[in-house]
Amino acid sequence: MWAYRFPIPCPILAFADLEKPAPPTILAWENRCFPPKFDSGGESSTMAENLERLKQRIPLLEYLQRHNWKPCRAGARQEFVGLCPLHQETHPSFYVNASKNLFYCHGCGQGGDLIRFVQLFLDLPFRQTVAHLEQELPPAPVFRLLEERQLFISFNCTVIRKLQTIWSAAECAIPL
């Protein structure tokens, strides 16, 4: 077997040349630690809208509390802190901003939204995570209203039919 050796230019980096990342803050999401959202339009924007609706219908804080996460209020804003469900720890380092629906853990460095949390927590790919969350959706108020309306209409139709049979029988029984 022939081996060819080509010189590969490789710049030598000193440790001083490397930039140190900024230390995380409590409000990591305000320091743009998360990638920006892009809207390219078309089918992907419909998918993005569906994902946003999914995240709005299942708030991150409620999801965490349903799965036995014990939050403590941190500061005056809608921010909560607790032990990270993604790794073992003894001191709270997992922060949730309820108004922004985001989380960040200073212990393991993970952060994101509801979908990203479920992805990490259950070790699922993105599509399976979305399917799992759709199964956990509470029934939408609109669908509940439509079901109640349908029940109301069918009940009223049954009552009207009964009354019509009673009235028609009563008309036959009354002599003119």
More confident residue, 53 or 81: 81
Average pLDDT taken over every residue of the chain: 76
Residue 143: pLDDT band (50, 70, 90) is low
List, in sequence order, every residue forming a beta bridge with 2; answer none if it has no partner: none
- Structural domain containing residue 145: 139-176
List, in sequence order, every residue forming a beta bridge with 80; answer none if it has no partner: 73, 96
Beta strands in the chain (DSSP E): 72-73, 79-82, 94-97, 102-105, 111-112
Q: Are residues 50 and 76 in the same domain?
A: yes
CATH code, 88: 3.90.580.10
Residue 27 to residue 33: CA distance in whole angstroms:
9
Q: What pLDDT digit, counting tens, does each position of 102-121 carry?
A: 999 999 999 999 999 999 99
Beta strands in 16-168 (DSSP E): 72-73, 79-82, 94-97, 102-105, 111-112
Residues in the chain: 176
Q: Are residues 44 and 112 in the same domain?
A: yes
Q: Are residues 78 and 132 in the same domain?
A: yes
Q: Are residues 57 and 129 in the same domain?
A: yes
Q: Report the candidate in 59, 129, 50 with the shortest Cα–Cα distance to residue 101.
A: 59
Q: Residue 159 is inside which H or E element, if any?
A: helix 141-173
State yes or no: pLDDT of 14 exceeds 70.
Answer: no
C-alpha distances out from residue 112 to 36, 105, 117, 135, Å = 12, 10, 7, 21
Q: pTM of the prediction?
A: 0.57
State yes or no: pLDDT of 23 exceeds 50.
Answer: no
Residue 104 lies in a domain: yes
Q: Are residues 132 and 152 in the same domain?
A: no
Lowest mean pLDDT among 42-46, 68-72, 97-101, 117-121: 42-46
Residue 37: pLDDT band (50, 70, 90) is low
Residue 1 to residue 5: CA distance in whole angstroms:
13
pLDDT > 90 fraction of the chain, expressed in percent and rounded: 35
Q: Are residues 52 and 69 in the same domain?
A: yes
Q: Are residues 44 and 122 in the same domain?
A: yes
Q: Are residues 106 and 47 in the same domain?
A: yes
Q: Are residues 132 and 47 in the same domain?
A: yes
Cα torsion angle, 136, 130, 60, 44, sign: negative
Looking at residue 36, its pLDDT comes to: 47
Which tokens in the block code for residue 5?
A: 């050796």
Q: Are residues 175 and 94 in the same domain?
A: no
More confident residue, 100 or 172: 100
